[in-house]
Amino acid sequence: MRILTFVFAMVLGLIGGSYAQRPGQEIIRSKQFVLLDAQGHKRGEWTVDASGQGVLRMFDNAGSVIWSSAGGPRLLKEGSPVRDR
């Protein structure tokens, strides 16, 4: 789980860093960031839920949520490669 979280954080950092280096852009605002794999399938999502809490979610090959930070990080799907420690 820590490796997957680290990779997700690094990807978002790289995306943010690339936008921050553009002239005239100081702030990136979005309601949602989506991480896609090479085939265009959603693999991760960073959004805000109805209560205003930031939420990270990871998805499996079928598009089901396998990990979510909502309510505290936890494994949502048995048999996924992500393990709680």
Structure token pair of residue 39: 């085939």
Residues in the chain: 85
With 0.75 as the threshold, say if the pTM is over it: no
For the chain, which residues make up each domain, given as ranges? Answer: 2-75
Q: How many CB atoms lie within 10 A of CB 35?
A: 19
Positive or negative: CA dihedral 19, 22, 27, 29: negative
Each of the 85 residues of the chain gets a pLDDT tens digit; together they read 566 676 677 777 777 666 555 566 677 778 889 999 899 999 999 998 888 888 899 999 888 988 888 776 555 565 555 444 3
